[in-house]
Amino acid sequence: MNIGMSMGITQSQRVNCPECDQPEEHASGCTYGQIELLASKQRHIQCPNCQKRAVDENADGFWECRECNTQYTSSHLTVDTAEHTETMLVVDLDAPIGEGVQTVLQMQAKGEGNFPHDKKLEELRKQISQE
Ligand SMILES: [Zn+2]
Ligand SMILES: [Zn+2]
């Protein structure tokens, strides 16, 4: 019987952080605090190409889909607009109507899956599992 799966953790049972021993805000430099901060910055925008909620900002400053690696740019100055398809990205679901949507260009060059936030998070999680 798997007891761990059935117990679950509720908000009211929050325990102190295993690293900095704080119940709410983490001490500065706490690995868990950094992970929470980075995780909150990760985006999961719906990809107009494959429909997966997997678009985030990549290392080049473009929007890129983690699933199909299609890149989008909101800056019409960085690419030759004639060669790219115009589409819409809903970048912020919580924004007032009209404000969370960006008109972007779907780029022909695929991205390399280089997401700084994802990488850093992976490193930090590795650090914790090694301790
Ligand atoms: Zn902490
Ligand atoms: Zn995609």
Residue 15 pLDDT: 84
Helix (H/G/I), strand (E/B), else coil: 129: helix
Dist. CA 7–CA 67, nearest whole Å: 33
Answer yes or no: are the C-beta atoms of 43 and 55 closer than 8 Å: yes
Least distant ligand from the CA of 20: 1
How far does residue 32's CA lie from ligand 1's centre (Å)?
5
With a CB cutoff of 8 Å and minimum separation 6, the contacts of 7 are none
Which backbone phi and psi does 47 adopt, to 5 degrees? -80, 125
Residue 5 pLDDT: 47
**Average confidence (pLDDT) per 10 residues, the chain, 131 residues:** 47 79 92 94 95 96 97 79 84 85 92 96 93 65
How far does residue 62's CA lie from ligand 2's centre (Å)?
13
Q: Is the dihedral of CA 90, 100, 34, 26 positive or negative?
A: negative
How far does residue 36's CA lie from ligand 1's centre (Å)?
9
Tell how strand 71-73 and strand 85-90 pair up: unpaired
pTM above 0.85, yes or no: no
Residue 3 pLDDT: 47
Least distant ligand from the CA of 44: 2
